[in-house]
A and B are shown apart, each in its own frame.
Chain A
């Protein structure tokens, strides 16, 4: 498997606080990758550095054979890195459909007719078809999470980063989101899942990395991760 995303020795500090210390990771094309770790361990900081919301201070991030760590976020999105936000950030004055038309216009450069067809198709796959013309400010929590994924999909990504898409959802809703993510992966999209809901990450991921205090403490298959004493210590203490 060729590496789609190669993160090498990436560091990030906030003042005196080390959020990421020399993190290195390789993620293969088509992989389902899980990123776990306790609160404040640097998961979101890492993906902010990958998506361009933050700049890493040292190290390199190579995506699809190109160094991207100095590119602005919108260029990275155009190169194929899309993300959802942990706290949904819909374009709240727009309808659900219009939300998807933003990336269609700016990333895929689609004509209005094609963009709308693509948007409706994505909404159908994600189960928001009947909400297409609803104002996004009127959506429920689970619908907002789906909208985050749908909008990311409208950018036609090669790599999709799902940042705690399932936090606070019920068991049935988690199942539904998992099914959507599996289907997207089937369609050839590499997925990084950041999640606190363990059964979800463990079931979804082929490979899992656990971060603690900005360092990778363990990497392996889901089964080996849960057995790892360092991981247990990071999560449970003692």
Chain B
């Protein structure tokens, strides 16, 4: 009850802020931060709960974006349809990749996800319809709500983020979450405790893929442009993994904290210093956290709670 009240309050807050006479740049930056909240939350469902590291978040993200472009260019589909379709296609990708690789335990899945990124990027580079290597300019349709397109996208991404976090929370608290934790701790013991490990991993991979696709789908409209190199950027894959690690993977709030923290720092750094330094920020923070606080911000918080008692 308290959770849903907070969700409603945050949603109202997003709408109120979008209607306020603020500088448009705020929404331009906040959209990216929220996008990373979705991406990190999605990654954590498989990577955090079940312990299967996906190095190809960028591929799922980009496939969501390209699905949106294809739909927009061919039939002029509205944004909501683009997002739902992007999620659906990425879910299929997640299911497919999972089916091929999740039978193997350990590192194979991680390697396969890297390979998927390269394969799909090469395909998009060679696909003329979506602009090939040079990319494609898109003309945004006029917007009726919130005045500017960027403001509207901010509200849309806020809705997607709240939905993604709610899904992650549901998975964590349900019997599925308990099974995924068992898989992470010992897959063989999980199987012998009656956990259908392959089915659960496939489920997690599909849901995770769907949410990553939903994060990527509004991207072309946001930039009014799409091209392969930036869509499949390593930055997405690394961030999707680093943010939950820094926030804490054990609880749904971990990736949210990590994404808010890191993406905000990145936005500030982009404005004050340079966009080039973004990856460095992630790298340094990741090293610091892995060494000093392997359980992330959440782990630090728990330790602090225990010591202050």
Of all chain B residues, which has the CB nearest A98?
B178
The B interface, classified by DSSP as helix, strand, loop or mixed, is helix
A72, A73, A93, A94 interface centre (most CB from chain B within 10 Å)? A73
Q: Contacts A74-B192, A85-B188 known; list 17 others, CB within 8 Å.
A: A51-B192, A52-B192, A72-B191, A74-B196, A74-B197, A83-B192, A85-B189, A85-B192, A91-B181, A91-B182, A103-B193, A103-B194, A106-B193, A151-B189, A151-B193, A154-B193, A155-B194
State whether B196 touches A72 (Cβ < 8 A). Answer: yes
CA distance A93 to B182 in the complex (A): 9
Q: Whole-angstrom distance from the CB of A203 to the nearest CB of chain B? A: 27
Interface string of A89-130 (1 = CB under 8 A from B): 111111000100111011100000000000000000000000
Interface residues on A, range: 20 to 34
Interface size on B, residues (CB 8 A): 20
Which B residues touch A101, using CB under 8 A?
Answer: 178
Which A residues touch B56, using CB under 8 A?
Answer: none
Does B179 count as interface, using CB distance less than 8 angstroms? yes
A-B contact pairs, 13 of them (CB 8 A): A77-B194, A78-B194, A82-B192, A85-B188, A89-B185, A90-B186, A93-B181, A93-B185, A94-B185, A98-B178, A102-B178, A102-B193, A154-B193
CA distance A106 to B179 in the complex (A): 8
CA distance A105 to B174 in the complex (A): 10
Does A221 count as interface, using CB distance less than 8 angstroms? no
Which A residues touch B198, using CB under 8 A?
Answer: 72
Which B residues touch A105, using CB under 8 A?
Answer: 175, 178-179
Does B195 count as interface, using CB distance less than 8 angstroms? yes
B182, B188, B198, B250 interface centre (most CB from chain A within 10 Å)? B182
CA distance A79 to B181 in the complex (A): 23
Asked, given contacts A94-B181, A101-B178, whether A106 binds B195 with beta carbons under 8 Å apart, the answer is yes
Interface string of A20-35 (1 = CB under 8 A from B): 0000000000000000
CA distance A89 to B185 in the complex (A): 8
Q: Whole-angstrom distance from the CB of B309 to the nearest CB of chain A? A: 16
Does A53 count as interface, using CB distance less than 8 angstroms? yes
Which A residues touch B185, using CB under 8 A?
Answer: 89-94
Does B92 count as interface, using CB distance less than 8 angstroms? no
Interface string of B55-81 (1 = CB under 8 A from A): 000000000000000000000000000
10 shortest A-B CB distances, which residue pairs? A107-B194, A106-B194, A91-B185, A89-B189, A89-B186, A103-B193, A77-B194, A73-B191, A105-B175, A102-B193
State whether B193 touches A107 (Cβ < 8 A). Answer: yes
- Residues of A whose CB lies within 8 Å of any CB of B are 51-53, 72-74, 77-78, 82-83, 85, 89-94, 98, 101-103, 105-107, 151-152, 154-155
State whether B175 touches A93 (Cβ < 8 A). Answer: no
Which A residues touch B190, using CB under 8 A?
Answer: 91, 102
Q: Whole-angstrom distance from the CB of A185 to the nearest CB of chain B? A: 20
CA distance A91 to B178 in the complex (A): 10
Does B169 count as interface, using CB distance less than 8 angstroms? no
Name the one of B182, B188, B250 contacting A102, with C-beta atoms under 8 angstroms: B182
State whether A74 touches B191 (Cβ < 8 A). Answer: yes
Of all chain B residues, which has the CB nearest A100?
B193
Q: Whole-angstrom distance from the CB of A134 to the nearest CB of chain B? A: 15
Which B residues touch A82, using CB under 8 A?
Answer: 192
Of all chain B residues, which has the CB nearest A88?
B189
Of all chain B residues, which has the CB nearest A91?
B185
Q: Whole-angstrom distance from the CB of B52 to the nearest CB of chain A? A: 15
Which A residues touch B186, using CB under 8 A?
Answer: 89-92
Interface string of B146-190 (1 = CB under 8 A from A): 000000000000000000000000000001001101101110111
Q: Whole-angstrom distance from the CB of A162 to the nearest CB of chain B? A: 13
Considering only residues 278-302 of chain B, those with a C-beta below 8 Å from chain A are none
CA distance A52 to B188 in the complex (A): 10
Of all chain B residues, which has the CB nearest A51?
B192
Q: Whole-angstrom distance from the CB of B254 to the nearest CB of chain A? A: 14
Which B residues touch A89, using CB under 8 A?
Answer: 185-186, 188-189
State whether B191 touches A53 (Cβ < 8 A). Answer: yes
Asked, given contacts A91-B181, A105-B179, A106-B175, whether A74 binds B195 with beta carbons under 8 Å apart, the answer is yes
State whether B192 touches A73 (Cβ < 8 A). Answer: yes
